[in-house]
Structure 1
Amino acid sequence: MSRVLLFTADPEYDTRFRKAVHGRLPGEVQTVFEAALPATPDQLLSRSVGTMPTVVVFGPGMDPHVAMRLAGVFDIQRPEVSLVLVVPSDMSLAVAALRAGFRDVLDQDADPDGILGVLSRVCDAAESRRRALPQGALGGVGSYGVPAEPRDDSRVIVVTSPKGGVGKTTIATNLAVGLGAIAPMNTVIVDLDVQFGDVAAALRLAPDHSLTDAVTGPAVDDALVLKTFLTVHPASIYALCTPTNPAEGDLIGAAQITHLLDQLSGQFQYVVVDTAPGMGEHALAALEAATDTVFVTGMDVPGVRGLRKELDLLGELDLVPENVTVVVNAADRSTGLSVQDIEATLRAPVDHVVPRTRMAAYATNRGEPLLQHAPKDKAARQLRALVTSFAPDRPIVRRGIHRKALVRS
């Protein structure tokens, strides 16, 4: 049953609002008559009597710009509470409100059916969002709080491959989910395949915001605002996904990616980056920021040779971090190649071999990472070993053999 908390300085609007939902919307409405909004979500919610409200409506009389700043903090600290902003007929203000973290906007002059329609939609979405949030996340700032100071222990793990179709996104999403168990709400995955990224599909997410929002506007100068554009996944991780329109990818430059990763590494212990196949400007920007790189290849001659060429070129550009991991994905003995063949071609050791399994393909098609869907699967065990290699209690292995392997023989 939904509880709605209405903040407004206009008693007349309160009367119209209550008439519109009375007897037609399950739950109750509580009104706080104030002209100024509290500074924090907890201060605002403390004005509510009884159980936690499902929806908070900022009505007429509230400063919309103050409301938007507060909405950004709400989205981080109290993601289980959905916000609605009552606005005049101003499309630009409505768009700004949605980008700031409001779940919906309500026309100030809406008739009773219009008010009821918006409230019903937001209440339904709020209940679904509550069910999707991790256990223990409701009702406390705790795991959603913003660190007081930038981190100095952050690791930027770039997952890359010269060719598509090798399961790079599968590796990246499972790695992020596994790290989410090690560092709950301190792990974020970024989809840098800016035109055709699949992280949202692989995690079965429907993001309200995208990479475009994160590298433009107020998020560029404010890490707190940036965090409001991230999407929470039930595995206790955040995700920053690509825009639905591939054309928007042309608007994102390498310098913006560099700045974005710098912001995220100041806030999260683990930043997992899923790049597009090849070595485009976004991938190169990510590699410059990387503390660790996971190179992924399939068990086929073109893929292995492509990775060898990529390693050679990155060595010439001095873009290979000291911490390098090589993963052979969807390994199958029937391909005619062995791990020893791959190591001989790469002139570098293979760290993890993830076997091809039916369950891995099934989990991918379901949009559920294998580590969640079938943790006892053979492939999942290898993925867990990959995750464990990044655990904070594991010493960072600086493997000079990779550096030597980049020298042409």
Structure 2
Amino acid sequence: MSRFLLVTPDTAYDRRFRAAVEGRIPGDVQTVFNASLPGTPDELLGRSIGEVPSVVLLGPGVAVEDALSLGAVFDVQRPEVSLVLVGPDDPALALAAMRAGFRDVVAVTADEVTLRVVLTRATDAADSRRRALPGAGASSAGTYANGHSSSRPDSRVIVVTSPKGGVGKTTLAANLAVGLGSIAPMNTIIVDLDVQFGDVAAALRLAPEHNLTDATTGPASQDALVLKTFLSVHPASIYALCTPSNPIEGERINAAQVTHLLDQLTGQFQYIVVDTAPGMGEHSLAALESATDVVFVTGMDVPGVRGMRKQMDLLNELGLVPQEVKVVVNAADRNNGLSVQDIEATIKHHVDLVIPRSKMAGYATNRGEPLLLHSPKDKASKKLRELVGMFDPDYTAPRKGNHRKAVGA
């Protein structure tokens, strides 16, 4: 469990810091309300209670000169602890701090999302350095010092798939990721594997600096810590890895790279939500090979349902259906002549969830805001929260038949 030690006499900043961190990032916060710094790292760490913290933040009110002096010693004597400087937004100061050995610098005015990203990055660096210490060995979960990864025991790769487009698959995947972010904040990522025409960036209203191609080639493919710097952050406390804006660039990504990417991410995240392209392309099959869970999505139309039946049959023949399977009927309408029972009879599998058609869903999608955030009281949002709950470790399955009430089947 990561822990944070904040050193600052500024009680207002302490409250703001705790509001940004507690309940959002695993680990507790301790604060030393003292502006003076001791001469050695061990003296400072001795002010904390319990285990040695992973991240130490020197906050507002601490003399910059003293902070830089202590930082240089910290990097030598306690390299397994990440040191972060909180100060004015000054490039010259940031450069001096990084040279002194600080792991990162964050502006005192930084918003909550930026602060959580910096802390997550600093925690990852601390964990990596601890594993690299003599005698430390590899961690049972996470990323080894050389960049190779081993899966976390609680990591789940949730592949959202459909044989046909236009069923709201990306919208569902985005809402699922946002919902899981409330269960595992900064520990959830959505990956867009529709490498040519993916819409996750639009669904989350993101303008990513880096994309899937960047993450699967070069340094990021060799080191999971580097990979994390290529991810986009959404205000809902989730990460996103989006597709390139140029469809041709997306075709450079092959199935082996997808497998390796997901292997890296399972060492870093509790939930990896994968939005796939319609159909059964090589990228989708590679994702399904790594999946712990699969969510099949269909609309309430005969071609879509028959397509799902074919897709499920094919995946069963290939041995690519994981033990955990969810079937979701999206944008359901009781007046279209097809019932839930008809769907179940066709696909030979029970329907786990029926999400009713919602006028607000399209409006929220056009705004680039997941329905769970835009209209949390909407009838479709209620069902989406049920889907999210199915992946909660404390989930208890409801009585069968409840989903039929959603459409009056």
Aligned partners of 1:218, 1:396: CA distance in 2, in Å?
Answer: 43
1:121-150 deviation digits (Å, cap 9, x = unpaired) = xxxxx97xx44727x738x72697326642
Structure 2 counterpart of 1:118: none
Q: Structure 1's 55 and 256: CA in aligned 2 closer, same or farther, altered over 3 A?
A: farther
Q: 1:153: Cα distance to partner?
A: 1.0
Correspondence 1:52 to 2:74: no
Correspondence 1:137 to 2:116: yes
Asked if structure 2 preserves the Cα contact closer than 8 Å seen for 1:253 and 1:282, the reply is: yes
Aligned partners of 1:231, 1:241: CA distance in 2, in Å?
Answer: 8
Aligned partners of 2:196, 2:92: CA distance in 1, in Å?
Answer: 36
Correspondence 1:381 to 2:360: no
Q: Structure 1's 205 and 245: CA in aligned 2 closer, same or farther, altered over 3 A?
A: same
Partner AA of 1:325 in structure 2: K
Q: Structure 1's 43 and 339: CA in aligned 2 closer, same or farther, altered over 3 A?
A: closer
Q: Structure 1's 287 and 131: CA in aligned 2 closer, same or farther, altered over 3 A?
A: same
Structure 1 counterpart of 2:324: 323
Asked if structure 2 preserves the Cα contact closer than 8 Å seen for 1:143 and 1:184, the reply is: no
Asked if structure 2 preserves the Cα contact closer than 8 Å seen for 1:144 and 1:185, the reply is: no
Asked if structure 1 preserves the Cα contact closer than 8 Å seen for 2:156 and 2:270, the reply is: yes
Q: 1:53: Cα distance to partner?
A: 2.7
Aligned partners of 1:203, 1:182: CA distance in 2, in Å?
Answer: 18
Structure 2 counterpart of 1:295: 296
Q: Which secondary structure state, in structure 2, belongs to the residue aligned with residue 320 of structure 1?
A: coil
Q: Which secondary structure state, in structure 2, belongs to the residue aligned with residue 334 of structure 1?
A: coil
Query: Percent identity of the aligned residues?
Result: 64
Asked if structure 2 preserves the Cα contact closer than 8 Å seen for 1:331 and 1:354, the reply is: yes
Partner AA of 1:170 in structure 2: T
Asked if structure 1 preserves the Cα contact closer than 8 Å seen for 2:120 and 2:186, the reply is: no
Aligned partners of 1:202, 1:298: CA distance in 2, in Å?
Answer: 19
Q: 1:171: Cα distance to partner?
A: 0.7
Q: Which secondary structure state, in structure 1, belongs to the residue aligned with residue 296 of structure 2?
A: strand
Structure 2 counterpart of 1:156: 157
Q: How does 1:216-231 map to 2 (within 5 A)?
A: 216-231=217-232
| TM-score of the two chains, using structure 1 as the length reference | 0.68
Q: Structure 1's 368 and 132: CA in aligned 2 closer, same or farther, altered over 3 A?
A: farther
User: How many residue pairs are counted as aligned between the two chains?
Assistant: 305
Partner AA of 1:179 in structure 2: L
Structure 2 counterpart of 1:198: 199
Q: Which secondary structure state, in structure 1, belongs to the residue aligned with residue 345 of structure 2?
A: helix
Partner AA of 1:137 in structure 2: R
1:238-259 deviation digits (Å, cap 9, x = unpaired) = 0000011111111100000000
1:297-316 deviation digits (Å, cap 9, x = unpaired) = 00111100000000010011
RMSD: 3.2
Q: Which secondary structure state, in structure 2, belongs to the residue aligned with residue 335 of structure 1?
A: coil
Structure 1 counterpart of 2:263: 262
Asked if structure 1 preserves the Cα contact closer than 8 Å seen for 2:82 and 2:122, the reply is: no
Partner AA of 1:211 in structure 2: L
Q: Which secondary structure state, in structure 1, belongs to the residue aligned with residue 369 of structure 2?
A: coil
Q: 1:221: Cα distance to partner?
A: 1.2
Aligned partners of 1:386, 1:376: CA distance in 2, in Å?
Answer: 15
Aligned partners of 1:219, 1:167: CA distance in 2, in Å?
Answer: 31
| TM-score of the two chains, using structure 2 as the length reference | 0.68
Extract unaligned runs of 5+ from structure 1.
1-29, 82-125, 398-409
Q: Which secondary structure state, in structure 2, belongs to the residue aligned with residue 336 of structure 1?
A: coil
1:183-214 deviation digits (Å, cap 9, x = unpaired) = 00000000000011000000000111100111
